[in-house]
Amino acid sequence: MERFSLNMAKSFLGKNVNLHLKDGSVIVNVHLLEIIRDEFKRETFVKYVPYKKGNEFRIPLKSIAWAETLNLNLILIGEEN
């Protein structure tokens, strides 16, 4: 399995995903907003916002193991009941 790269992160921008981190934890149902490069620290961050929340967070790209896309149709149907 290849590591999560900048190109992979770009393909998930604007989508709702579960972020699986290298430490084994999962950040559930977030919307990926943008990729931020910090030239001073030479790090790349992914900015995301949790579903139906206004707070923006960012996480280092190197701490993400993989991302799983979500089907929002299933989530939205479940909220109607």
The CATH number of the domain holding residue 46 is 2.30.30
The pTM of the full predicted model, rounded to 2 decimals, is: 0.81
Q: pLDDT tens digits for 30-68?
A: 999 999 998 888 899 999 999 777 899 999 999 999 999
Domain encompassing residue 68:
6-80
Is 50 part of a structural domain of the chain?
yes
Total domains in the chain come to 1
φ and ψ at residue 59, rounded to 5 degrees: -135, 140
Is 44 part of a structural domain of the chain?
yes
**Mean pLDDT value across residues 4-23:** 93
pLDDT of residue 77: 57
Is 48 part of a structural domain of the chain?
yes
Is 1 part of a structural domain of the chain?
no
pLDDT of residue 51: 79
Is 63 part of a structural domain of the chain?
yes
Is 32 part of a structural domain of the chain?
yes
Report the chain's mean pLDDT, rounded to a whole number.
87
CA distances (Å), origin 22, targets 8, 26, 64, 74, 75: 16, 9, 6, 27, 26
Does residue 11 carry a pLDDT above 90? yes
Is 17 part of a structural domain of the chain?
yes
Q: Tell me what percent of the residues of the chain surpass a pLDDT of 70.
A: 85
